[in-house]
Amino acid sequence: MNGVKSREELQEKKATGVAREFARITLPVLTGSVKQVAWAEKIRHDGLTKLIENVVLKEIYGQDTAHIRPMMEACLRTAENIQDAKWWIEARMCIIPALCREAGIN
């Protein structure tokens, strides 16, 4: 597994990579009802985690990420500007494509 000796090591490297990427962004406080905000925060966290994990895992395995890292970064910058809980709730079934559309990525 490209320098990864165990499943535990893979999980640790993935978690470290995801935490590193989350530390680079500032997500806004969401607006909406208390229920909407609580649900949207979970949706946002889970969706962004999946987006980041896709890139981090490719990097762990030594795969080229030159084509997807800029997309991930654009989506994360876009996420920093989406404050409406309703947007996250409506996009919950396809967060990554929705973020790409918002970022102007086709």
**Structural contact between residues 55 and 24, judged by C-beta atoms closer than 8 angstroms:** no
What pLDDT digit, counting tens, does each position of 46-76 carry?
Answer: 999 999 999 999 999 999 999 999 999 999 9
Q: Is the pLDDT of residue 82 over 80?
A: yes
Residue boundaries of the structural domains of the chain: 7-103
Q: Is the pLDDT of residue 5 over 90?
A: no
Residue 84's φ and ψ, nearest 5 degrees, are: -80, 115
Q: What is the reported pLDDT for 106?
A: 76
Q: What is the pLDDT of residues 83-101, one digit of tens each?
A: 999 999 999 999 999 999 9
- Note the pLDDT tens digit of each residue in 35-53: 999 999 999 999 999 999 9
For position 4, what pLDDT does the model report? Answer: 73
